[in-house]
Structures are given as C-alpha cells and as structure tokens.
Structure 1
Amino acid sequence: MKSRRRCICLSATAATVIGLLLLFLILGLTVFKPKDPIINVDSVALSGLHFSIHNLRVYVNVTINTAVTVKNPNRVGFQHADSTAFLRYRGLEVGQGLIPAGKIGARDSRDMNITLTLFADRLAGDPDFYIDAISGKLPFQTYIRLPGKARLIFNIHVVAYATCDLEIHVLTQALASQTCHYRTKL
C-alpha cells in the first residue's frame, strides 16, 4: 500500500515538473522569444565639412552627427558592449564613431548621439574620390551595428543594424540627400 502511494506521489511530482518545464519552454519560445532591437535614425547632420583643392590635391575633413533611437521590443532588458559605427565611401571604411556600452530596459528605448569622423588619408588613393569631388557630390554611407544580449534564463545574442546613404554637396557644404535602411539581420 505504501509502495503504491509512493509511486503515485512520484508520478504526480514528475508530471508536475514536466508540465512546468513544458510551460516555461512554450512561454520562452512564444511570449518571451527574444527579438532584435530596432535602430531608428532620427537625424543626420554635418557638423563640419572642410573641403579644399591645393596643387591638384583634394583635402577633406567631414564630421557627421547622427542621432538615433534604439528600441528594445523584448520583455527583458538588453545590454550592449562598446561598439563602433562606420562611415563608408563606396564600400571603403573611411571613418568611425564610438557607441558607448549601455543598457536598455524591457520594452524601452534610448536616444544616442554618434559622431562619425572621416579619416581623410583613407580617401587619398581612391581615384573615384577625385571624380566625385570635382562633380561636387560625395556619396557616403553610415553603418551602425549594435550587438548585445538579452537575458531570459540564459543569454540570447541579438543585433540591430541601420545604414544611411548620404550625398554631401561640396559647394553648399550640406547634405543633398539621405536615405536610411533598417534591418534586423545582415
């Protein structure tokens, strides 16, 4: 009799534990499923553009300020390490800006300002740069990648991406156009 009660008790306990594990697994894969954060580029502005031509050499210095909002759609916090945003010219990385580490709460968002600075020496050997400079329009692209982790029961790695195609008008020293793209996977 005692053996039968013990067997029923152990079976009920095992069924309860298995049921709870299944419940947590289902919740983890549906309601608490980690999602990649979303980066929205709020504004892109030139804070400094110095352009000159001396002795058939083109000198350029560009500083681009980018204001972004990072939204965490998860039901748990998102933590990211120091990261880098890049400035590209025709696919070549010619500048960068630091994104400091931080945390974003569950279903919260955070505003960030990123300053991208051009490394002019990386443009010196590119013949397309001289053609673009003479035409008066320089095409650049900002590339922001923000990797981090969301902690549910264990760490889940998530990544957010955003790129903006920019065209800088040399004579007016202003942005001629900008088009931003938001992706969760690249």
Structure 2
Amino acid sequence: MRKTRGCICLWVTAVILGLASLFLILVFTVFKPKHPVTAVNSITISHLDFSIDITNLRVHLNLSLDAVVAVENPNRVGFKYNNSTAFLRYRGNDVGEIPIPVGEIGAHATRILNLTLTLMADRLLSDSDFFSDVKTGTLRSQIFIRLPGKVRVLFVFYVVAYATCDMEINLITRRVDNQICHYKTKL
C-alpha cells in the first residue's frame, strides 16, 4: 500500500513538473514578448504663417505639423502604453510638443495616432542659427516619439518604442522635404 502511494505521488509530481515546464516553454517561445513597432506614416504642414519684417529685423512664424503615426503590436496579448509625449525639435532643442494619452493596443492590432505638433516660436528667437535658416528658407527639424508600455505574459515585460524623423521644413514651398525616419525598440 505504501509503495502504491509513493508511486502515485511520484507520478503526480512528474506530471505537475512536466506541465509547468511546458507552460514556461510556451511563455518564453510562442508567447515571448515582442517590441511594438512605431512608424511615422506621414508628416505634413497643416498651418504655416510666415513673414519677415526687414525694417524691425523680426521674423513671424506660426507652424503646425500633422503627423500620422502607426503603432503595431505584434504580440499575442495586449500592449498597454503609458502617457507619453511627441516632441518637435529644432537643432536639438524642444520647440513643440503634444501629449499622447495612455492607451491599449490589442493582440496583433495596429493603432493610428494623429498628432498635431505646434511650433512654439518664442523658443526659436534666442537661437542665432534660426535667422540664417530663415534666410535659406529651410528649417531642419526632427520629430521624436517615445512610447513606453508593458506586455503581460505570465510576467510583466516593460518595453519602449522610439521613432525619430529628421526633416526639412521648406518655408517657401510650404512642404516637408527630405524626411528620414529611424525606429528603435527596447525591451
């Protein structure tokens, strides 16, 4: 009788360990968390008011950019992202920003974010390169997006997706030229 109980206990333990091993193998292979993919689909100028006052040596600039950003979740579970911010940068300085509210993207789904970045012109006036760039009619700038979040597969995995787009804003043609985007993810 004692031998039978020992065998049953041993078999039950072996089955439990086998199922636990199988479950862990599935979590770290099939359900392994993947990085969300952030892509900037387009950047356009939605509003541009630009003039130069030669008599007072002043530049008047009011600029808004529309950016369409796609965030793809390649995971088999949902991706929850935190409050974040997209920045418009000129020569490394933040000159515009827009908050990205907290959200969730389902398994194997893509969310489109429509962002409007408004240039804060007062931040440009102290930059000596700004006036020389205005003379050439081209402002070299960058859009920077950082989207931190988490994926929960048995454990919580924290991930961050980045997107940066270098571009030239042509003040004369009122277009965005030479747009080059870079994408980076971090687990």
1:140 corresponding residue in structure 2: 141
Matched, 1:70 2:71: yes
Matches within 5 A, 1:1-186: 2-54=1-53, 55-185=56-186
Do the aligned partners of 2:34 and 2:74 also contact (CA within 8 Å) in 1? Answer: yes
Is the 8 Å Cα contact of residues 48 and 62 (structure 1) preserved in structure 2? yes
Unaligned 5+ segments in structure 1 are none
Amino acid at match of 2:117: L
Deviation at 1:46, TM superposition (A): 0.5
Superposition deviation, residue 100 in structure 1: 2.1
Name the SS for the 1:184 alignment partner: strand
Deviation at 1:52, TM superposition (A): 2.2
Query: Judging changes above 3 Å, is the alpha-carbon distance between structure 1 residues 59 and 185 closer, same or farther for their aligned structure 2 residues?
Result: farther
Structure 1 contact 79–149 (Cα < 8 Å) conserved: yes
How far apart are 1:169 and its partner, in Å? Answer: 1.0
Q: CA separation in 2, counterparts of 1:185 and 1:49?
A: 35
Tell me the distance in 2 between the aligned counterparts of 1:25 and 1:4: 31
The alpha-carbon deviation at position 174 of structure 1 amounts to 1.7
Q: Secondary structure at the match of 1:133?
A: helix
Indicate the SS of the match to 1:171.
Answer: coil
Q: What is the TM-score with the length of structure 2 in the denominator?
A: 0.92
Residue 22 (structure 1) shift: 1.3
Say which SS state the counterpart of residue 126 (structure 2) adopts. Answer: coil
Give the aligned residue type for 1:160.
Answer: A
Task: Encode CA deviations 1:85-114: one digit per residue, 9 max, x unaligned.
Answer: 011111111111121222111111111101
Distance 2:19 2:50 in 1: 66
Q: Which amino acid is 2:72 matched to?
A: K
Number of matched pairs: 185
Alignment partners' CA distance in 1, 2:77 and 2:23: 15
CA distance in 2, matches of 1:10, 1:117: 68
Q: With structure 1 as the length reference, what TM-score do the two structures score?
A: 0.93
Counterpart residue type for residue 153 of structure 2: L
Q: CA RMSD in A?
A: 1.5
Are the equivalent residues in 1 in contact too, given 2:159–2:186 (CA < 8 A)? no
In the alignment, residue 150 of structure 2 is paired with which amino acid?
Answer: K
